[in-house]
Amino acid sequence: MTESKAASGNLARLWRVRGSLSRRSYLVIASLGLLSPLVLWLWVVSTGKIDAVFMPTPLSVLSRIAEWYQADNLLGDAWISIYRVSMGFLLSAMLALPLALMIGVYKPVQAFFEPLTDFVRYMPAVAFVPLVMVWVGIEESAKIAIIFIGTFFQMVLMMAEDVRRVPITQIEAAQTMGATPNEIIKLVILPSAKPALMDTLRVTLGWAWTYLVVAELVAANSGLGYAIMKAQRFLQTDKIFAGILLIGVIGLAMDQAFRWLHRISFPWMYRK
Amino acid sequence: MTDKIHITGLDKVFGVAPNTPKALDGILLNVAANEFVTLVGASGCGKSTLLRILAGLEDRSAGQIIINGRPVSGPSPERAMVFQHYSLYPWLSVMQNIKFSRNLRTGRENLSSSDVEIASGRADALLSLMGLGHVADHYPNQLSGGMQQRVAIARALMGRPDVLLMDEPFGALDAQSREVMHDLIRHVYALEKATVVFVTHDVEEAIYLGQRVVVMAPRPGRIDSIYTVPLPEKREQDMKHVPEFLALKKQILARIRETSGMKTDFDMLEQLTRKNQPDASL
């Protein structure tokens, strides 16, 4: 009687608004979340009502991955895709950061660039693909350019917002201690905005993967996106599944790496 | 002239729209060297704006401010400021926060190695003066609000400012920690010999800390009256209950109520209650 009461008390605690969860329970529920699509998939396939062309079994997808790895250079495809994403993403980040910093610090720079960036941001990056092919060709640089177009403008706006969110009192305190504008940027604004900037990088990395697939679907002869498109031509649904799953796994790993980097770079945020 | 701060004809107008009431109108105030002056008033009376102009963080629309014989133009390390909150650097430890000004060029200019040693000696001294010795390596978000404000005060004192400007520094603290901070700040003031301008909305705090209390009034922001506090230099918590203290508190509160427009609210309240009593209207 009392035990069941305690159990229902625990359950109520889980569902409190903005409640908390122990690390173990979190991991258990997260694994359930990750496994549930797999279970659903297994169940749908096991009913046998859907043709394997539309919905391959998990086992056939796994064996396709193994075959891809042994005979079809899966690592090469994955590597070239990771390379393109990384290059496009790094190029974006390297140019976006200084620009966003200036936009976030100096009003005239904001007035010049922000409406312009907003305008370009709404142009669909995918529509630039033909232009990029005309301008840059179909080399590696073309794919990197498409990823750049897809991520750069979003990154600038989000990073500028991160810079603007630095509390004004932190800046004013430095001013009353005699800091020059350069010192304020270097010693206050950058370190203060850094955690938010890194989060923005983590979010935009996901978009970089989206544009990678766009780039590889139309203008490539290697990479995971290209493999997916080729598989579609031959109706190899299991390989399409395999490609999509691989991109998901790589993305998840990169995301987790960013979170880990965040924790070790900003210990002061995690210590209470 | 021994005046440290000399303010004449100071006006401040926010925005450009016509007929906006002046945030500050014809402020005239002199603060002597080593004086502790507190500013009180209802919200909107411009007390914080006046302090921010003194710090050089806000431009003035008209008038003159002379500190140490020189007109104020922009912020300067000789005028340190303590804010109500969010001014500490959360990525730096308590000690690094206090020593922050040492990273700046103005702090390093003409600095010999003995100066650096003196500086670290000063940081250590401030740390123990503020009772922060045991948390020197902590990050600000590991500290209570009261402890964080101690760090902010130590950081402001680090550069030996001539003038210490405080903008409701204890406004977010609970009553107990506020009393502790009051005695601490009086102690620091006695040791450091700085000139202090302290803004607060708490009349008791203003009287307990200040040698003079400047009462400000809103619409337009102006100085209404100035009171000299009849308490000895060495303040003790018990003094908050002596008749002189209570009389002054009552007087200042009445002034604030009268100038803040709260009186009209009372009138309205009275009218409303009268309307709800049909007998009275007959």
CB A50 within 8 A of CB A44: yes
Backbone φ and ψ for B220, nearest 5 degrees, come out as -80, 155
Q: Which two tokens stand for residue A72?
A: 């079809």
- Indicate whether B246 pLDDT > 90: yes
Whole-number Cα distances in Å, B127 to A91, A208, B93: 45, 48, 12
Distances (CA, A) of A204 to A22, A200, B54: 29, 6, 44
| Residue B92 near residue B100 (C-beta atoms within 8 A) | yes
Is B213 strand, coil or helix? strand
Residue A137: per-residue pLDDT: 83
For chain B, the C-alpha Rg in angstroms (whole number) is 21
Interface check for A191 against chain B (CB to CB < 8 A): the answer is: yes
Q: How far apart are CA A261 and CA A255, in angstroms?
A: 10
Q: Give the amino acid at A163.
A: V
Contact A255, A202 (CB under 8 A): yes
The H-or-E segment that residue B24 falls in is: strand B24-32
Give residue B106's pLDDT band: very low, low, confident or very high (50, 70, 90).
low
Residues of A in contact with B194 (CB under 8 A): none
CB A125 within 8 A of CB A210: no
Confidence label for B226 from pLDDT (cuts 50, 70 and 90): very high
B237 DSSP assignment: G
Contacting residues of A for B76, CB less than 8 Å apart: 176, 178
Q: Express each pLDDT in B114-166 by its tens digit.
A: 666 677 788 999 999 898 999 999 999 999 999 999 999 999 999 889 999 99
Task: Tell if the CB–CB gap between B87 and A269 is shorter than 8 Å.
Answer: no
* Candidates B91, B138, B168, partner chain A, best to mutate (most A CBs within 10 A): B91
Ranges in chain A, pLDDT < 50:
1
Pairs of CB atoms within 8 A across A/B: 85
Residue B83: list chain A partners with CB under 8 A: 169, 172-173
* A271/B142 Cβ within 8 A: yes
Asked whether the predicted pLDDT for residue B181 surpasses 60, the reply is yes
Residue B277 banded pLDDT, cuts 50, 70, 90: low
Asked if B83 and A266 come within 8 Å (Cβ–Cβ), the reply is: no
Q: Return the sign of the alpha-carbon dihedral for residues A107, A113, A119, A123.
A: negative
pLDDT in tens, B19-71: 777 899 989 999 999 999 999 998 889 999 999 999 999 999 999 999 988 99
Q: Which of A168, A170, A175, A176 best probes binding to B when mutated, by most B CB atoms within 10 angstroms? A: A176
Side-chain half-sphere of A247: how many Cα atoms within 13 Å? Answer: 24
What is each CA distance from A2 to A14, B43, B86, in whole angstroms? 19, 54, 47
Best A177, A180, A270 member to test B by mutation, with max B CBs in 10 Å, is A177
Predicted pLDDT at A127? 86
CB atoms within 10 A of CB A162: 22
Question: What is each CA distance from A42 to A45, A244, B139, in whole angstroms?
Answer: 5, 17, 50
Which of A170, A172, A183 shows the shortest C-beta gap to B104? Answer: A183
- A192 vs chain B: nearest CA distance in angstroms? 7
Q: Cα A219 to chain center, whole Å?
A: 22
Chain B partners within 8 Å of A177 (Cβ): 77, 80, 100-101, 104, 106-107, 155, 159
Residue A6 CA to residue A21 CA, distance in Å, equals 17
The residues pairing with B198 across neighbouring beta strands, listed in sequence order, are B38, B166
ipTM value: 0.87
Is the pLDDT assigned to residue B278 strictly greater than 80? no
Nearest by CB to residue A170, choosing from B57, B86, B101, is B86
Inter-chain CB proximity B104 and A178 less than 8 Å: yes
Closest CA to A202 of A159, A165, A143, A232: A159
Residues of A in contact with B87 (CB under 8 A): 167, 169-170, 172-173
Q: Do A178 and B75 touch (CB under 8 A)?
A: yes
Residue of B139, B142, B163 to mutate when probing chain A, most A C-beta within 10 A:
B139
How far B218 CA sits from the closest chain A CA (Å)? 24
Instruction: Select from A197, A210, A202 the least CA-distant residue to A260.
Output: A202
How close is the nearest chain B Cα to the Cα of A178, in Å? 5
Centroid of chain to Cα B61: 22
CA distances to B82, B126, B173, B198, B233 from B178, in Å = 15, 19, 6, 14, 19
Do A197 and A266 form a contact (C-beta atoms < 8 A)? Answer: no
**Residue the block writes with tokens 């200036």:** A102
Give pLDDT, residue B282. Answer: 46
A139 touches chain B (CB under 8 A): no
Cα dihedral A249/A253/A259/A263 (nearest 10): 150
- For B109, half-sphere exposure in the C-beta direction (CA atoms, 13 angstrom radius) is 6
List, in order, residues 6 or more apart from B233 with CB less than 8 Å away.
B190
- pLDDT surpasses 80 at B276: no
- Put simply, the answer to whether A178 touches B77 (Cβ < 8 Å) is yes
| Per-residue pLDDT band at B281 (split at 50, 70, 90) | very low
* 8-state DSSP, B134: G
Residue type, A8: S
> Has residue B265 got a pLDDT over 50?
yes
Amino acid at A255: D
d(CA A255, CA A242): 20
DSSP state of B142: G
Flag if A172 and B85 touch (Cβ within 8 Å).
no
